[in-house]
Copies of this chain bind each other. A is one copy, B any other.
Amino acid sequence: MAMTLGQLAEALAENGMECTLAGDAGVEIRAVNTLEDAGAGEIGFLANPKYQKLLAATRASAVVVRPDRKAPARLNLIRTPDPYAAITALIILLHGHRTHPHWGLSPAATIADSAKLGRDPNVAPHATIGNDVVIGDNVTVYPGCYIADRCKLGDDVTLYPNVVLYEDTILGDRVAIHAGTVIAEDGLGYAPVDGKWVKIPQIGHVEIGHDVEIGANCSIDRATLGKTVIGAGTKFSNLIAVGHGTRIGDNCLFVAQVGLAGSVNVGNHVTLAGQVGVAGHLTIADNAEIAAKSGVVNDVEAGAQMLGQPAMPINDAKRVYATFTHLPEMRQRLKELETEVQRLREQLPPADAKTEGRGGTAPPASGRRRSGGR
């Protein structure tokens, strides 16, 4: 689909985005692309000033920039306060969302007689749907997926290839799960008996709310009892592990390789950056943000921003980390200061009774210190 730059600007305005057009309103735009890769018929964008230099070199037919951004006169521009939001709208306008292959009900899929499918099912070859599964309308199941007995899927769900749902999993409407992700496998539930591990049957399940999207190769444990929950609108990247019985609120954002232990309570709109780990039985309240690679070992308050291992308030953590590189030097300075103070002490007349009975040389603290950890 192609539109003129003028039509694109109008469409943005209709979407409530302030924007002005500079240059040729008639230039035809087919696609969005990066400033580096864009060519004729393509529109790019600049949001991060770090990439300013790309403006000079781009061969894009047009660029979306902030109102105050300097740009070469030759470039056709859409100026708007939030180029990122504008380019999102343009991508949806020009490209739309992924269109899935159409399989209908593939004869090479295996679907239990007792499964109930809604309207317009799209089930690929080599997918397997178990007994008493209930599936809504317009659901797409890619090749290699396995939907175990008694799962319930809402409308407009997409399971990308090789997704596995263990039994009794519940998915809301418009849930999308990317390839290789496993939902509701058993968690690490064992009772220690005589030095061995006795398996505790994991009889809970997993419930995933509307509009959740989960990345590739994640694993979400079923609960031992009750349920593991992922709230509506929450988005996961890849390779994320969620322990049994953990409950995650709505509209959270988890970056790749995040790991949560079991029985964690996460509020709404919480951000966990890449490789964050959260210990078991903790609560992370609404709107908290945990920086990459942090290890959360205590409850986190609403709106808190945390960093580090163990995680601490981000401003504290930054000051702590800034000190790290000075530690060897601080240790040396401390030693020199001790030597210097010892020398000063020796230059002073011996302390007498006025110093409240402490001996004039080698006070106990100093003595302990000497034999200590240096």
Contacts and interface: CB of A to CB of B under 8 A. Distances in A.
Contacts of A332: 369, 372
B348 A199 contact: no
Interface string A215-228: 11111010111110
A195 B269 contact: yes
A173 B305 CA distance: 46
Interface string A230-257: 0001011111010101000001010111
A149 interface: yes
Q: How large is the interface on A (under 10, 10 to 19, 20 to 34, 35 or more residues)?
A: 35 or more
5 contacts: A85-B193, A101-B149, A108-B110, A182-B216, A293-B295
Interface of A: 31-34, 36-37, 44, 48, 50, 84-85, 88, 91-92, 95-98, 101, 106, 108, 110, 124-126, 128, 130-131, 142-144, 146, 148-149, 160-162, 164, 166-167, 178-180, 182, 185-188, 190-191, 193, 195-201, 203-204, 213, 215-219, 221, 223-227, 233, 235-239, 241, 243, 245, 251, 253, 255-257, 259, 261, 269, 274-275, 277, 279, 281, 292-293, 295, 297, 308-310, 312, 316, 319-334, 336-341, 343-349, 351, 355, 358, 363, 365-366, 368-369, 372-374
